[in-house]
Amino acid sequence: MVETKPIVLVTRKLPDVIEARLSRDYEPRLNPNDRLYSSSEMIERAAGADAILPCHTESFSAEILEKLPQSVRIIANFSVGYDHVDTAAAKARNIVVTNTPDVLSDATAEITMMLIIGAARRASEGERMVRAVEWRDWSPAFMVGTQVTGKRLGILGLGRVGQVVARRARGFDMEILYHDEARLDPDREAGATYFERLEDMLPRCEFLSLHCPATPATRGIISEATLAMLPDGAILVNAARGALVNDQALISALKSGKLAAAGLDVFNNEPNIDPEYRALTNVFLLPHIGSATRETRDAMGFRAIENLDAFFSGSEPVDRVA
């Protein structure tokens, strides 16, 4: 008797090695053209599927989860963030939800440092100037930015990624401050200064880097009120989730000069971001590529498959979040 393999709906094009591994042990429904499915298409393609392996580009609201076929028993996300899934609704449907933590910390920390340096040293302006043949000469007043070395870096959320960012930033002799739900143990804190209240940390931050998940408590946490607490000329970077930021508040702070610059890899309503960002010269913009290295994307895929393997073998997935 031929053993039936679990059917897995794969919503986006995955690395070749990941699709090969899925094809070995599962019956995957692949997306070779990497087309973004509408919610109705995804629900239709999930007919008879035992699992869905999506990315953060797919939304699983309570309404969508209710419409999924009863055959779907697990959503194994190809992402560390899972705010695109209504986990309470998934639990109500007895659908297990997993993510892929740990494996993208280094890559995301690298992008964070790029955002910090790129925003501080006006990299976008300089790159455009060279390409447009607008670079005329050198002078002491030309393209003056903000020095990174020795500055105070506030980290909002000293979790896996935040801790790696702190280690990288210490290479620039930055002083690390952080705010989180609770103070970390000394080994993970590694000399960083803890602030129980965010409002006590913000006035000391010459740079502020966001590394907390998007939750009801943190959505829009970067607001007109919190931005006003930063020192004049501070620099904000975000490689976590766009939902942490109130766009109009940030844009106003950049236009007024309250902030010297910002570096952003994530946005609300991606990829249809607020068009005002594109018009600002003091914003270093990237298209959500924090985990975009071959090594990391492969590791994310294998981690998602490990969660599927555990589930279908009757074990508890190590990365279960719902």
Examine the domain organization and report whether 138 and 218 are in the same domain: yes
299 vs 305: CA distance, rounded Å: 10
Give yes or no for a contact between 291 and 108, defined as CB atoms under 8 angstroms apart.
yes
Q: Do 62 and 140 fall within a single domain? A: no
Kindly state whether residues 155 and 96 are assigned to the same domain. Answer: no
| Residue 76 counted as domain residue | yes
Catalytic residue (one of 29, 288, 297, 303): 288
Claim to verify: residue 229 and residue 207 sit in the same structural domain: yes
- Ramachandran quadrant class, 182 (left: phi over 0; alpha: psi -120 to 50; beta: rest): beta
Residue 2, domain member (yes or no): no
- Cα separation, 185 vs 187, whole angstroms: 6
**Do 265 and 245 touch, CB atoms closer than 8 A?**
no
pLDDT digit string (tens) for 59-81? 999 999 999 999 999 999 999 99
Domain assignment of residue 318, yes or no: no
Judge whether 241 counts as a catalytic residue. yes
> Of residues 270, 294, 295, 316, which has the active-site annotation?
270
In Å, how far are 13, 96, 193, 263, 314 from 301, measured between CA atoms? 11, 17, 35, 27, 20
Distance, in Å, from the CA atom of 260 to the CA atom of 247, rounded to the nearest integer, reads 16
Residue 159 lies in a domain: yes
Look up the pTM and report it: 0.95
Whether 278 contacts 285, CB under 8 Å: yes
**CATH number for 96:** 3.40.50.720
Query: Do 97 and 164 have their domain in common?
Result: no
Q: For residue 56, indicate whether it is catalytic.
A: no
71: which 2 tokens? 């055959």
What pLDDT does residue 2 have?
56
pLDDT value at residue 3: 75
pLDDT in tens, the chain (322 residues): 557 999 999 999 999 999 999 999 999 999 999 999 999 999 999 999 999 999 999 999 999 999 999 999 999 999 999 999 999 999 999 999 999 999 999 999 999 999 999 999 999 999 999 999 999 999 999 999 999 999 999 999 999 999 999 999 999 999 999 999 999 999 999 999 999 999 999 999 999 999 999 999 999 999 999 999 999 999 999 999 999 999 999 999 999 999 999 999 999 999 999 999 999 999 999 999 999 999 999 999 999 999 999 999 999 999 999 9
Query: What pLDDT digit, counting tens, does each position of 68-124 carry?
Result: 999 999 999 999 999 999 999 999 999 999 999 999 999 999 999 999 999 999 999
- Residue 242 and residue 120 share a domain: yes
Give how far Cα 82 sits from Cα of 167, 173, 213, 217, 269, Å. Answer: 26, 33, 9, 15, 16
How many of the other CB atoms lie within 10 Å of CB of 238?
23
Say if CB 95 and CB 317 are below 8 A apart. Answer: no
Clarify whether residues 51 and 136 are in a common domain: no
What is the residue range of 62's domain? 7-103+294-312
Q: From CA 162, how far away is CA 211, in angstroms rounded?
A: 6
Q: Are residues 23 and 71 in the same domain?
A: yes
**Shared-domain flag, residues 131 and 98:** no
Q: Are residues 59 and 158 in the same domain?
A: no
- Number of domains comprising the chain: 2
Same structural domain, 185 and 253: yes
Report residue 2 CA to chain centroid gap. Answer: 41
> Catalytic pick from 121, 160, 241, 297?
241
Q: Is residue 224 part of a domain?
A: yes
Asked if residue 215 belongs to a domain, the reply is yes
Domain check: are 12 and 152 in the same one?
no
Is-catalytic flag, 288? yes
Segments in 204-289 forming alpha helices (H): 224-229, 247-256, 276-279
